[in-house]
Amino acid sequence: MTAREGYRILKVSPRASWEEIRSRFRALVYACHPDRNPDNPEAAAQFRRVVEAYESIRAARARSRKRRQQYRQAEFKVKDDLFEEYFGISGTAPQACTSGPDFRYDLQISFMAAMQGLETTIQVPQVHACPHCNSTGQEPHYGSRTCPDCQGTGRRPLGPGMLRLRLACQRCQGLGQLLESPCRVCQGSGYQKTFRHYHLKIPPGTKDGTRLRFVGEGGRGFHNGPPGNLEVVISVEPHSFFTRKGNDLHCKLEISFAKAALGGTIRVPTLNGFRSVYVPPGTSSGKVLRFPGLGVPAGPGQAAGDQIVELVVTTPAGITPRQREILEEFRRLEQQELSFAAHE
């Protein structure tokens, strides 16, 4: 699926912000979730289309960001080369020690896991100096030879004349030297890709977008600078029944026409099972029930939220002959009472 189709399915503009797109995605996922539409066979297909549309837009925007970053880096590099080759000076100031880049790990968890808390372990890829070659990229006890293309300078002239551009040598990748025997462990790169495990304790009531920081677990610093940090960004999946608003949980519960008219006990789903509550006779659609303390669990220095239930009175689509007979009698009595009231 293309990004253009994704925007059309989500019904958002290509110029919409990411927050607008994600908000629209959550609303559609909630509306067409198969658990909420058990009698609609098209709901599952629509649910999949919405998810595919969201993923296509996210992938397209990620590629766009990467292209812009590569363009800026290439433009900066060309300007630096021109300064150095034509005027004998570098276009950049001497580099001071700077911290390494921050790494990001996206973790998606279920809504119930965010509410109840979770302990899990993640694997984060990392790059380390190869211990076999000590980051030289070459087998121990082997040397290197001067690159014949650039004569050890790491750059090759491009074009005639004295003021000619000198670009990085493609054969030696600007190193000026060729490895006689590349390291068999890292294949000459000087680095190894490994995985590090991190144990996470996600507290109850965690919000979507929460960040967990591991100081010093990011990329290596430059010129002896400190390493960067690792940030774990938590994404909470939408729930088919509950919707979080602040620390309150909102939901809609359907009750039958008979239950609303005559009153009775209903069972309300909560984070910790079901709770029974009595609704009085004559309950109308839209009535709100509040359960203090049954919303989002309390965090440090906070109070637990409430669960807010909106009752929706449903009308049966199909009725039995006996039910029709009773409803007809109910309508007859209702009209009779209205007639008596009009004559009084």
Read off the pLDDT of residues 226-268 as tens digits, 9 standing for 90 and up. 888 999 999 999 999 999 999 999 999 999 888 998 999 999 9
Higher-scoring residue by pLDDT: 26, 246: 246
Structural domains counted in the chain:
3
Are both 215 and 268 inside the same structural domain? no
**Residue 137 belongs to domain spanning:** 95-143+180-238
Q: What is the three-state SS of 118-162?
A: EEEEEEEEEEEECCCCCCCCECCCCCEEECCCCCCCCEEEECCCC
Structure confidence at residue 73 as a pLDDT band (50, 70, 90): low
Among 238, 264, 280, where does a domain finish? 238
Strands (E), the chain: 103-109, 118-129, 144-146, 155-158, 165-168, 177-179, 191-202, 211-214, 230-236, 243-245, 248-256, 264-270, 273-279, 288-291, 307-314
The answer to whether residue 76 scores a pLDDT higher than 80 is: no
Are both 224 and 278 inside the same structural domain? no
Strands in 211-214's sheet, in edge-to-edge order, are: 103-109, 230-236, 211-214
Are both 189 and 297 inside the same structural domain? no
Cβ atoms of 197 and 191 closer than 8 Å: no
Among 27, 61, 94, where does a domain finish? 94
Are both 232 and 279 inside the same structural domain? no
3-state secondary structure of 10: helix
What local confidence, expressed as pLDDT, does residue 223 receive?
66
Kindly state whether residue 171 falls inside one of the protein's structural domains: no
Number of Cβ atoms within 10 Å of the Cβ of 95: 9
Are both 4 and 124 inside the same structural domain? no
Are both 227 and 305 inside the same structural domain? no
Phi, psi of 138, rounded to the nearest 5 degrees? -125, 150
Are both 65 and 135 inside the same structural domain? no
In this structure, which long-range contacts are made by residues 287-296, counting pairs with CB atoms below 8 Å and at least 24 apart in sequence?
287/311, 294/249, 294/270, 295/247, 295/248, 295/249, 296/115, 296/205, 296/244, 296/246, 296/247, 296/248, 296/249
* For residues 4-28, average pLDDT: 84
Kindly state whether residue 172 falls inside one of the protein's structural domains: no
Kindly state whether residue 333 falls inside one of the protein's structural domains: yes
Are both 20 and 118 inside the same structural domain? no
Query: What is the domain-level CATH number for residue 31?
Result: 1.10.287.110
What local confidence, expressed as pLDDT, does residue 78 receive?
52
3-state secondary structure of 70: helix
Kindly state whether residue 191 falls inside one of the protein's structural domains: yes
Structure tokens at 276: 């029974």
Kindly state whether residue 199 falls inside one of the protein's structural domains: yes
Are both 63 and 73 inside the same structural domain? yes
The answer to whether residue 200 scores a pLDDT higher than 90 is: yes
Burial of 290 (0-12, 13-18, 19+ CB in 10 A): exposed
Are both 122 and 210 inside the same structural domain? yes
CA distance 136 to 183: 8
Sign of the dihedral through C-alpha 236, 59, 229, 126: positive
Share of the chain above pLDDT 90, in %: 32
Share of the chain above pLDDT 70, in %: 84
Among 37, 69, 94, where does a domain finish? 94
What local confidence, expressed as pLDDT, does residue 163 receive?
44
What local confidence, expressed as pLDDT, does residue 341 receive?
62
- Strands 191-202, 264-270: pairing kind: unpaired
The answer to whether residue 216 scores a pLDDT higher than 70 is: yes
Give per-residue pLDDT as tens, 258-316.
Answer: 899 899 999 999 999 999 999 999 999 999 999 999 999 987 777 899 999 999 998 87
Are both 99 and 208 inside the same structural domain? yes
What local confidence, expressed as pLDDT, does residue 199 receive?
94
Give per-residue pLDDT as tens, 149-166.
Answer: 887 777 776 655 444 455
Kindly state whether residue 152 falls inside one of the protein's structural domains: no
Are both 302 and 284 inside the same structural domain? yes
Kindly state whether residue 288 falls inside one of the protein's structural domains: yes
The answer to whether residue 322 scores a pLDDT higher than 90 is: no
Q: Give which of 44, 56, 200 is closest to 120, Cα–Cα.
A: 200
Kindly state whether residue 63 falls inside one of the protein's structural domains: yes
Range in 161-175, 207-221, 231-245 with the lowest mean pLDDT:
161-175
Query: What is the domain-level CATH number for residue 250?
Result: 2.60.260.20
